Structure 1
Amino acid sequence: MTSYAAPETLMEEVIKIIREAGAKVMDIYESDFETYSKSDSSPVTEADLKAEEIITPALEKLTPGIKVVGEEAASQGKAPSVGNDDPFWLVDPVDGTKEFLNKNGEFTVNIALIDKRKPVLGAVLVPARNTLYTGIVGQGATKQVGNEPPQPISVREEQEDGVTIVASRRHGDPELLEKFLNGRTLKETINAGSSLKFCLVAEGSADLYPRFGPTCEWDVGAAHAVLEAAGGLITLEDGKTPFTYAKREDFLNPHFIAWGGIR
């Protein structure tokens, strides 16, 4: 069984790595950058590629023997096999590439450690907003804006005037959403891109993020750790079955629901 340092020790290094990658992403974001198409026709930019080139070897050095699954390597058929309970890293170098292309700032850099098919820790950087979310499951979650000290965050309890849902700007199914609400009063819907949606639930700005569209494990892992560390959880669409990792060789996810304080 592969061992690793205490999560709080790893997190110190993960923060350094993600900030270095975020700086590279912003350098490219503010320049004339190249855009390419993957085999599935989804866009990828220099930022995705360069950030993963920073993150992957840094994690391999940090935890020798622990595999790293990065989105861009996986898209090229180079993802290592992780179909067991061993630990592995999940990396999405730029989640929200379409938000990156549209210059709205709602893209993130994501690093998660998974062990026994569950998140251990995660860091989500929103580089255009200089905001960093971190979470160590069982120890707590934080949000840091700029150079201010990190502040603890937690999910909020159910509000009497209805639920606030966070939804993707580009994916969704109104009929499924109405069925999911099942009589709950919908107070507000907040649209956001990338893994930022989970973080809005984790910090108590929203109550639920139901996802009835396609995602992969690297889209979820880091923010899942933040959300769970903040007192939330993710289940499958039935609201009961836990969301786990290393489910399929292609890392595709089923529909799921990210919960704040509502149960």
Structure 2
Amino acid sequence: MNSDKLLDIAINTAQQAGKEVMSYYRGGNFTAEMKADDSPVTSADLASNDIIMDRLKSLTPDIPIISEEVGVLPLSQRNNWQRYWLLDPIDGTGEFIIGSGDFAVNIALVENGWPTIGVIHAPDHRLTYYAQTGLGAFKDNQQASRKISVAPYREERAVKVAVSRRQELELMGQYLNKDFDFEYIALGSCSLKNCLIAEGGADCYLRIGPTGEWDTGASHCIIEQAGGRIFDAEFNPLSYNNRATLMNPDFITLGDQAFPWRKIIRPHKATRTL
């Protein structure tokens, strides 16, 4: 099956899952609990996961799947996978619970250790972001689809930093060079902040704290195809499916590579789980 067909499957599957998520969201008829890692999960997360898993297993039975909401196989059983689907059934579950609308369904295809297809569907915003290696990155608002790219560097303007509504700016600020001017833009889920950078609405995002590979896989493809990059906090590339854990280190999402990022952001020892 060619990449264009796989992209169509990923987009349609994410949108189908989004419809199911919205049935829980609009009615408020969902349950929520805390997982062992102290992150929230709802019945909407699990329903979205079921739809995505069922569709992908049916349409692409030869491609294995890694999902946040399914137990992960040991590295010895998955490290030889040439390609696999990487899922976050709802990125921004906390935003879903509080009703902000800033949540999304994330589906990525990872090939030879790198995301080559990324789809992020934000059902409450009626937006779908998608990308494919060599094709570019796009934003679809249900009326039209347009190609997107990161905002160009201009020395005279402030650097726009995407932040969480509940992020401690003091914690993040210690890694920003105060010789530069910054403008902070608050948004919900990790993937939507990355998409904001991909479409030129912000320039960078510093994620300090735990995330999984499913949090970055889809937006990683979108960012790169839009002209940006994602690194760990020491400016090393992120990796996929080559460690026992699927937890990411701290990471930074960067827009236009013409910015002097190594002067703007101070590298620091990235938190890693081995």
TM-score (norm 1): 0.90
Q: Give the alignment partner of residue 250 of structure 1, picking from 225, 245, 252.
A: 245
Q: Does the CA contact (< 8 Å) of 2:172 and 2:206 recur in 1?
A: no
Whole-angstrom distance in 2 between the partners of 1:114 and 1:184: 36
Q: What SS does the corresponding residue of 1:133 show, helix, strand or coil? A: strand
Which letter does structure 1 place at the counterpart of 2:33?
A: Y
**Distance across 2 between alignment mates of 1:259 and 1:7:** 26
Pairing of 1:73-222 with structure 2 (within 5 A)? 73-74=70-71, 81-84=77-80, 86-145=82-141, 147-159=142-154, 160-172=156-168, 174-181=170-177, 183-186=179-182, 188-194=183-189, 195-222=191-218
Number of residue pairs aligned between Structure 1 and Structure 2 = 254
- Give the 3 Å change call, closer, same or farther, for CA 37–212 of structure 1 in structure 2: closer
Offset at 1:57? 2.2
Question: CA separation of 1:121/1:79 partners in 2, compared to 1, >3 Å: closer, same or farther?
Answer: farther
* C-alpha deviation, 1:66, in angstroms: 1.6
1:79 deviation in Å?
Answer: 7.7
Query: Is the CA contact (8 Å cut-off) linking 1:227 and 1:233 kept in structure 2?
Result: yes
CA offsets per residue over residues 124-155 of structure 1, 9 Å max, x none? Answer: 0110011000011221011011x212111001
- Kindly provide the amino acid, as one letter, of the partner of residue 151 in structure 1: R
CA distance in 2, matches of 1:175, 1:58: 41
Length-normalised TM-score, structure 2: 0.87
* Equivalent residue, structure 2, for 1:6: 2
What do residues 156-178 of structure 1 show as CA deviations (whole Å, max 9, x unaligned)?
11232120000123445634533
AA aligned to 1:237 is: A
- Matched position secondary structure for 1:258: strand
Uncovered stretches (5+) of structure 2, i.e. residues with no partner: 262-274
With 201-210 and 80-89 compared, the bigger mean Cα shift is at 80-89
**Does the CA-based 8 Å contact 2:149-2:226 persist in structure 1?**
yes
Aligned CA-pair RMSD = 1.9
CA distance 1:78–1:84, shift in 2 (3 Å): closer
Is this contact kept in 1: 2:86–2:109, CA < 8 A? yes
**Aligned CA distance change for structure 1 residues 247 and 44 (closer, same or farther; 3 Å):** same
- The yes-or-no answer on 1:36 pairing with 2:18 is no
Partner of 1:55: 52
Name the counterpart of 2:270.
Answer: none
Matched, 1:20 2:16: yes
Q: Give secondary structure in 1 for the equivalent of 2:202.
A: coil
